[in-house]
């Protein structure tokens, strides 16, 4: 292969099904070039060879290019709205056996936050969260469920006391919470989306995508929701043409699927 970024992107697409064209190029290229330099590798062809032959280099690459900044109850005001307004409304509309998807779930902070938030409104036996990410490494971390103090700073005190155990400087989330989340690998830009969701959460991930890729993903989220279902997005994101894809803006970060 030639030593160009375009050729590198084509190789990565063949190897991983991750389309780097969907990410903002200047930002992503800078991240990748930094990683190549860090490993002391000269040029894209040599780096591709390393990705194909060295498991640790490949795992590092996947972990590095995917955005894994996450924390429990991120943007507390939005979780308060979920608790006081939107979750009671969803239960009123659809009952307590809600179909919920935490997309691009990273290290599990978000789906585990959902389990705790839902537990205030329904028995634990009713709660089932589907959580997906394209990075198997971070999902592995999610399944372990070990977090630093900063990650759990936003957890309500009663949940922190009930569901976390301190292990040295870290905090282990309880098996009870973990048992209500099912993790699976999923690429938002390539894989098929399941349907009939009551609630989809995807926050602070799409800001790294191009406008075209964002529009495609938001349309697929809308298609995956039931009529009356909700999409919860991040504080750094907005859906520009939400009416065109069948959504109604309920709040800056909550959108409802309409007829």
The answer as to whether 25 is a domain residue is: yes
Q: Does a structural domain hold residue 171?
A: yes
Percent of the chain scoring above 90 in pLDDT:
68
pLDDT at residue number 140: 82
206, 253 contact by CB (below 8 A): no
Give the pLDDT band of residue 176 (cuts 50, 70, 90): very high
Strands (E), 21-127: 100-102
The answer to the question of residue 146 being in a domain is yes
Report, as an integer, the average pLDDT of 157-162: 96
**Digit-coded pLDDT (tens) for 44-88:** 999 999 999 998 898 888 767 655 557 899 999 999 999 999 999
Computed over every residue of the chain, the mean pLDDT equals: 91
171 and 49, same domain (yes or no): no
Any domain includes 28: yes
Q: Are residues 33 and 142 located together in one domain of the fold?
A: no
Please check whether residue 71 lies inside any domain of the structure.
Answer: no
Q: What is the pLDDT of residue 66?
A: 59
Residue 70 lies in a domain: no
Same domain membership, residue 157 and residue 58: no
How many folded domains does the chain comprise?
A: 2
Instruction: Check whether residue 141 and residue 175 sit in a common domain.
Output: yes
Which of 17, 37, 65 is a domain's end point?
A: 65
The answer to whether residue 218 sits within a structural domain is yes
pLDDT digits (tens, 9 = 90+) for 182-219: 999 999 999 999 999 999 999 988 887 889 999 999 99
In a domain, 149, yes or no: yes
Of 15, 30, 65, the domain-final residue: 65
- Judgement on whether residues 52 and 116 belong to the same structural domain of the protein: no
Q: What is the pLDDT of residues 27-52, one digit of tens each?
A: 889 889 999 999 999 999 999 999 99
- 204 and 146 in a single domain? The answer is yes
Q: Using CA of residue 214, residue 200, residue 104, residue 170, what is the dihedral sign?
A: positive
Residue of 135 and 43 predicted with greater confidence: 43
CATH number, domain with residue 195? 3.40.50.150
Cβ-defined contacts of 81-88 (< 8 Å, 24+): 81/251, 81/254, 82/117, 82/232, 83/117, 83/120, 83/121, 86/230, 86/232, 86/250, 86/254, 87/117, 87/118, 87/121, 88/121
Query: Both 236 and 142 in a single domain?
Result: yes
**What residue numbers bound the domain in which 25 lies?**
5-65
Instruction: Output 16 or 128, whichever has higher pLDDT.
Output: 128
> For position 15, what pLDDT does the model report?
83
Between 170 and 106, where is the model more confident? 106
């Amino acid at each position: 292969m030639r030593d160009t970024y375009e050729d590198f992107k084509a190789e990565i697409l063949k190897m991983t099904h991750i389309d780097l064209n969907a990410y903002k190029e200047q930002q992503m290229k800078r991240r990748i070039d930094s990683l190549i330099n860090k490993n002391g590798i000269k040029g894209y062809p040599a780096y591709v060879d390393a990705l194909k032959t060295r498991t640790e280099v490949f795992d590092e690459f996947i972990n590095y290019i995917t955005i894994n900044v996450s924390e429990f109850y991120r943007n507390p005001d939005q979780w308060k709205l979920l608790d006081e307004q939107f979750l009671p409304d969803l239960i009123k509309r659809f009952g307590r056996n809600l179909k919920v998807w935490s997309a691009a779930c990273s290290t599990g902070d978000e789906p585990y936050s959902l389990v705790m938030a839902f537990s205030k409104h329904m028995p634990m036996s009713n709660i089932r969260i589907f959580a997906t990410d394209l990075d198997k490494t971070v999902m592995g971390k999610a399944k372990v469920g070990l977090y630093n103090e900063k990650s759990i700073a936003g957890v309500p005190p009663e949940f922190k006391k009930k569901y976390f155990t301190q292990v040295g400087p870290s905090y282990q989330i309880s098996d009870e919470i973990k048992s209500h989340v099912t993790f699976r690998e999923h690429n938002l830009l390539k894989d098929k989306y399941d349907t009939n969701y009551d609630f989809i959460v995807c926050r602070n991930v799409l800001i790294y995508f191009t406008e075209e890729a964002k529009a495609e993903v938001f349309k697929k989220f809308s298609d995956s929701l039931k009529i009356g279902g909700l999409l919860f997005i991040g504080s750094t994101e907005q859906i520009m043409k939400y009416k065109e894809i069948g959504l109604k803006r309920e709040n800056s970060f909550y959108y409802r699927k309409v007829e």
